[in-house]
Structure 1
Amino acid sequence: MGLAWQQGPLATRAVGHFLVEQPLPERLLFAEPLRRRMRVRFGGEWVADSEDVVLLHEPGRYPVAYFPVADVREDVLVAGNRTTTHRELGPAEWFTVRVAGHEAPRAAWRHTGLPGHADVLRDRVAFAWRAMDAFYEEDERIVGHAADPYHRIDLAALTPVEGETFCPYKGLAGYFDIGPGKRAAWSYPEAWPEVERVSGFVSFEPDLVDVTLDGRKLALEPGQTVTPHGIDRGLDPGELRSPVPGGN
């Protein structure tokens, strides 16, 4: 979850609450310095470059980066005749972003009548995410949508366990426990050359752990369950690693 969306503390559907005597406003906005260099690219050129960016967190939205006007190229913002009103921040003036041969109408805005408590956004410009070619933090491009520094991604804790098996098509497989799920995941550290692209990837047993893809919970499909018959002749992983008898 992020700070101000999904079920974050500033979201309208927060799962927790602040321990204060008086009820808080229905909507809370939160502004903070990014503390990293951010740049905006449009039409093959850099249109903004700053180490003094302020992130605005607003309920139900991804964070919005506000750049000091001084850190935006002087010739790229073209004032239009569009003004909107933000429910907490007041009127906003909109701009067309223009560079040689490229133009994006209503692609940037600046708040022109900020209340005193929001003065941190004064003389700052924000750029519409989808209207620009790319946003960068330091030298890393931000892809998909604006990054929320409070968004957490939990990775399954994989605990390696003893014991290996082999597959005639892929090679030696090692196994992992995931919490109470025993041998719930497996991986081929060094798959056969024909399928070496799967080396180092991890697979999960959907009947032992919940596996979701794009919001859909996966389950074993008919025909995916195979009844093992054991390892022929007591073959062990060590024999697979041994040189081929008589080989060169």
Structure 2
Amino acid sequence: MALPKSPGFEKHPGYMVQIEKSPRRVRVEFGSETIADSANSVLLRESNHVPVYYFPRNDVHMDHLSRSEQSTFCPFKGEASYWSISHGDETVADAVWSYETPFEEASGIKDYLAFYWNKMDHWFEEDEEIFVHPRDPYKRVDAISSSRKVEVVLGGETIAESSQATFVFETGMPTRYYLPMDDIRMAALKRSDTTTRCPYKGIASYWSVEAGGQVFDDIVWSYPEPLEEAPKLKNLLCFFNENVDAILIDGDEQPKGKTKWSNFLAETLDGPEHIV
């Protein structure tokens, strides 16, 4: 029986739903149990979403799952069915979903199951634990040393000035400028308790800045112990381009761009995967 066509692409022809087999062994743990273990998962990449792993049903311990009455509809993929997951005394409702009869454009995930990332305890690719979401194989994060002069202006004051910055070029993100502490007015910075995690770089610590009679919360971050893939960022600090007065490169003010952190409040930070 042929699968129906998606209505979503007619209204949004540029929308992307891409499904490809992952060459990695992927495991999911809930409680002390490995709930899914597969070398045949697929990775779904979708516009405006982080990547998602989908697992063949045969590689999921279905005895820990119980079908619920929950369902949702996606105009690009179809109707999703849900399962709750249990292990011992712990149960999480509607933690697993599947498109059992997807639209034709999403046929590659038919009868595969996906898990809400944060409702599971641990995720692994091969033997390494991964965090936040799967890393996108088509996303690059290039950290490149530069001798160009970088100035950061905040609250009408020059807070940082450096000719030994590391420029980070990341797919789909504004260029970020990581600066040595020696080139920053550290007396104006106060470390906060905020931390976030990035699947590409590690755990970020934050600083607030007092400048021009104002306090700018969590406007600077750093990776004290970055992942092995991002060693150049160790102990360098970066300012949110969007929320400083200006960043100048060799005297030329750089466009700020518009992101979800433009004029953000500190409490709205929702995850490092979107930061740098």
**C-alpha distance in 2 between matches for 1:107 and 1:96:** 5
Is 1:47 the counterpart of 2:35 in the alignment? Answer: yes
State which of 94, 105, 124 in structure 1 corresponds to 2:112.
124
Q: Deviations over 1:131-181 (max 9, x none)?
A: 111111111111233322223222132xxxxxxxxxxxxxxxxxxxx2345
SS at match of 2:118: coil
Residue in 2 that maps onto 1:134 = 122
Is 1:107 the counterpart of 2:86 in the alignment? Answer: no
Aligned length: 161
Q: Deviations over 1:39-92 (max 9, x none)?
A: 001012110000111111111110110000000013111101111111111111
Amino acid at match of 2:163: A
Call closer, same or farther: CA 1:218–1:76 in 2, change over 3 Å.
farther
Amino acid at match of 2:107: D
**C-alpha distance in 2 between matches for 1:118 and 1:66:** 12
Higher RCO structure (Cα 8 Å, ≥6 apart): 2
Identity of matched residues, %: 31
> Deviation at 1:218?
10
Call closer, same or farther: CA 1:218–1:51 in 2, change over 3 Å.
farther
| Contact 1:47–1:73 (CA under 8 A) maintained in structure 2 | yes
Deviates more, 1:145-154 or 1:70-79: 145-154
Amino acid at match of 1:179: S
| Contact 1:37–1:51 (CA under 8 A) maintained in structure 2 | yes
SS at match of 1:130: helix
**C-alpha distance in 2 between matches for 1:122 and 1:139:** 27
- Unpaired segments of 5 or more residues in structure 2? 1-10, 151-161, 166-179, 186-235, 247-276
Residue in 2 that maps onto 1:148 = 136
| Contact 2:79–2:99 (CA under 8 A) maintained in structure 1 | yes
SS at match of 2:137: coil
| Contact 2:147–2:164 (CA under 8 A) maintained in structure 1 | no
User: Which structure shows the higher helix fraction?
Assistant: 2
Amino acid at match of 2:119: A
TM-score, normalised relative to structure 2: 0.52
TM-score, normalised relative to structure 1: 0.57
* Structure with larger Rg: 1
Q: Deviations over 1:4-56 (max 9, x none)?
A: xxxxxxxxxxxxxxxxxxx9804121111121010001012110000111111
State which of 1, 18, 21 in structure 2 corresponds to 1:33.
21
**C-alpha distance in 2 between matches for 1:35 and 1:214:** 35
- Which segments of structure 1 move beyond 3 Å, counting only runs of 4 or more? 179-186, 213-219
**C-alpha distance in 2 between matches for 1:55 and 1:70:** 17
State which of 189, 205, 230 in structure 1 corresponds to 2:183.
205
Call closer, same or farther: CA 1:38–1:212 in 2, change over 3 Å.
same
Residue in 1 that maps onto 2:163 = 184
**C-alpha distance in 1 between matches for 2:12 and 2:79:** 24
Question: Any residues of structure 2 matched to 1:1-248 within 5 Å, and which?
Answer: 25-157=13-145, 178-181=146-149, 184-185=163-164, 203=181, 205-206=183-184, 212-213=238-239
- Unpaired segments of 5 or more residues in structure 1? 1-22, 158-177, 187-201, 220-248
Call closer, same or farther: CA 1:217–1:140 in 2, change over 3 Å.
farther
SS at match of 2:69: strand
